Structure 1
């Protein structure tokens, strides 16, 4: 398999979204406690295995989807998968803002960040960018 770098703007959007997803996945994999602090979560001292969650659930998913998108950024189905993942994450954040008394600046900024990553992946697949 040959690795290609995008040459057009429409291919650059999902490529960048994949790179950011991979970067976040690497942070979650190698710095799980930092990831938990950023998510405003904290493992108990009696449950040190809680640090495994960011490594497995968060990092594993972000790295898997991000790496596949990085190699196949020009495939519409792959763009839809990455975009749908970020869009559903943004939807979950929005539901949390509305129902969990989560109206904070950080939540709104993270929601906008997730929507931007979703748009970057979905825009070419849905024909918004040519």
Structure 2
């Protein structure tokens, strides 16, 4: 298998979304405390194992999906998987904004970022960019 970097917009969008996903995953893997603070969470002193959640659940998923999407960015199914994941994450954030009294600047920026990553992955799959 040969690794290639895209040269056109339909390949570049999902590739960039995958790269951002991998970078976020690496950040969560190697800086779980900062990740929890960025997400406005903190482990309790009675539950120190909670620091493992960003490493396993968040970083593991983002790294797994992101690496596969980097390697196979030109496959429509991979673009759909990456885009659907970010779209549902953005939708969950939007529901939280509406129902959990979470209408803060950080939540809106995070929601917009997730939706932009979803668009970057889904646009080529649905033929919105050529």
Band of TM-score, shorter chain: over 0.9
Alignment map for 1:47-86 (pairs within 5 Å): 47-86=47-86
TM-score under structure 2 normalisation?
0.99
How far apart are residue 98 of structure 1 and its match?
Answer: 0.5
Q: Residue 70 of structure 1: SS of its match in structure 2?
A: helix
In the alignment, which residue of structure 2 is the partner of 1:5?
5
Further displaced range: 78-87 or 1-10:
1-10
How far apart are residue 45 of structure 1 and its match?
Answer: 1.2
Poorly superposed stretches of 4+, deviation over 2 Å: none
Unaligned runs of 5+ in 1: none
How far apart are residue 31 of structure 1 and its match?
Answer: 0.4
Q: Residue 108 of structure 1: SS of its match in structure 2?
A: helix
Q: Distance in 1 between matches of 2:73 and 2:59?
A: 20
Alignment map for 1:2-41 (pairs within 5 Å): 2-41=2-41
Deviations 1:89-109 (A, max 9, x none): 000000000110001111111
Unaligned runs of 5+ in 2: none
Q: Residue 11 of structure 2: SS of its match in structure 1?
A: helix
Does residue 127 of structure 2 align to residue 127 of structure 1?
A: yes
Q: Residue 92 of structure 2: SS of its match in structure 1?
A: helix
Q: Residue 124 of structure 2: SS of its match in structure 1?
A: helix
In the alignment, which residue of structure 2 is the partner of 1:44?
44
Question: Number of matched residues?
Answer: 130
Q: Distance in 2 between matches of 1:20 and 1:35?
A: 15
TM-score under structure 1 normalisation?
0.99
In the alignment, which residue of structure 1 is the partner of 2:100?
100
In the alignment, which residue of structure 1 is the partner of 2:117?
117
Deviations 1:62-82 (A, max 9, x none): 000000000000000000000
Q: Distance in 2 between matches of 1:43 and 1:104?
A: 22
